[in-house]
Amino acid sequence: MKVCYFIQSHTAPEQVCRLARVIRQSSPNSQVLISHDFSTSPLDVTSLDGLSEVNLIRREQPTVRGDYSLFQVYLDAINWLFEHQASFDWLVYLSGQDYPTQPISKLEHLLENTDYDGFLKHWKAGPWHPGKKGFNRYYYQYYFNLPQKSHELAKKFSRLNQLQSLVHIYTGCRKLIGVRAFSNPFSEKFVCYGNLVWSMLSRSCVQYLRSFLQDNPALVAYYQKTVMPEESILASVLANSKLFNLCDDDKRYAISTSGGALAGYYQTLTVQDYPAIANGDFYFARKFDLKQGSEMLDLLDTKILKD
């Protein structure tokens, strides 16, 4: 059984390399695939020269938060794996600020023996009603970007437009003008789901996702005009297929900020969080910041590499 750990990063290159090293040390049979945005920060790949089964996808254009470009990075990694005929049984999706919380061997034992096809935090999100966050994200098609400085003006227009529900001014991570979709892909047979991004999927799930999106360009085109498509399209495709046994648990530890987990913002973990991290039923945690010191990661290394 072989696991591929996919790391998507744009900053903290030293931390990304450390993550790759500890995974390979703890799991010599694993593969690590890194997709790093070099336009945002350099990544010294020479520090990984001594590691086998570590591959790099160079990105030269930053992703945009809330845009399909963020999900496209994940799809590009999946395409890379199949185009290079990579041998993997599971794909674990990580950010560059994730870190293992226990030996990788324990996670791989779970994946090898589980009856689940995927670990993905997800929920049935539709039918939604106007005014709800999910409705505003996925039942509108967004065509126009507003300047970031127009935040207050956009909020005022948003309050007015929600009354008629035909036009929506999105004021979250991006400032966008959207029009209520004349038609959408959602129905009783294809329910709109929500999901958290970071996941662990079996090869069969990954292969199905890739084929489904290739065979359904209209669905891709629709999601490309939504907000935060990566927080819906994954579960919508896999859960609606009825082919997979999905665990509604991503086995991750994180503390969301006041905006909540769905806002995608998390607190930086410190040594004060170590007892909760070290004793929980999960295998990765986020987010960590090596710039604030290595003490926390050093503590985790002791636990991860003890075998």
Q: Which of 101-105, 229-233, 288-292 has the lowest mean pLDDT?
A: 288-292
pLDDT in tens, 68-84: 999 999 999 999 999 99
pLDDT at 150: 57
Q: What does the DSSP 8-state code read for residue 42?
A: -
Q: How far apart are CA 167 and CA 175, in angstroms?
A: 13
What are φ and ψ of residue 48, in 5° steps? -105, 5
Q: Is the peptide bond before 229 cis (omega within 30 degrees of 0)?
A: no
Query: What's the confidence (pLDDT) of residue 155?
Result: 59
When pLDDT is averaged across residues 274-279 and rounded to a whole number, the result is: 88
Average pLDDT, stretch 13-36? 94
Taking only the tens place, the pLDDT of each residue in 206-233 is 999 999 999 999 999 999 999 999 999 9
Q: Token pair 């990580």 is at which residue?
A: 94
- Cα dihedral value 219, 225, 230, 236, nearest 10: -30
- pLDDT at residue 159, rounded to an integer: 59
* pLDDT reported for residue 124: 84
Q: Say which residue, 159 or 135, is predicted with more confidence.
A: 135
> pTM for the whole thing?
0.91
Element housing 112 (H / E): helix 104-113
End-to-end CA, the chain: 19
Instruction: Give per-residue pLDDT as tens, 149-201.
Output: 555 665 566 555 554 577 777 777 677 888 888 899 999 999 999 999 999 99
Residue 268 has what pLDDT? 92
Strand pairing report for 140-145 and 176-180:
antiparallel
**Interatomic CA distance for residues 169 and 242, integer angstroms:** 35
Res. 87 pLDDT band, cuts 50 70 90:
very high
pLDDT at 230: 95
pLDDT beyond 90 at 92? yes
The fraction of the chain above a pLDDT of 70, given in percent, is 89
Strand-pair category, 118-119 with 246-247: parallel
In whole angstroms, what is the distance from residue 116 CA to residue 145 CA?
41
Please give the pLDDT value at position 33: 97
